[in-house]
Amino acid sequence: MVAFGLVIIGGLNWLLHAFDWNVVDLVLGEGSVLSQAVYVLVGLSAVYLVAMHGKDCKVCKAGGSTGMGGQM
């Protein structure tokens, strides 16, 4: 649950970054140790979610059917 929250925060930050607004750097200071720690935690959370996807995904457990006729 924590990993999912961190990935959402990272995704929203990337969205805002497209409009030249970086919330993490704004709140924690650009290039600060804290902002770098947040970036590392978000990245590790993404790696964790990718690694755990097959175990947690109901679609993958059911045999991989996407419900889209086999097309994605």
The structural domains of the chain, with segments of one domain joined by +, span 2-61
> How much is the pLDDT for 53?
82
Structure tokens at 40: 């590392």
Residue 63 pLDDT greater than 70, yes or no: no
Helix (H, G, I), strand (E, B) or coil at 46: helix
Q: What is the largest CA-CA distance in the chain?
A: 48
> How much is the pLDDT for 52?
86
In angstroms, the CA 32 to CA 3 distance is 22
Q: Which residues contact 63 (CB under 8 A, 6 or more apart)?
A: none
Helix (H, G, I), strand (E, B) or coil at 57: coil
> How much is the pLDDT for 11?
92
In angstroms, the CA 1 to CA 6 distance is 9
pTM of the model: 0.71
pLDDT tens for each residue of 12-60: 999 998 999 999 999 999 999 999 999 999 999 999 998 888 787 777 7
> How much is the pLDDT for 66?
56
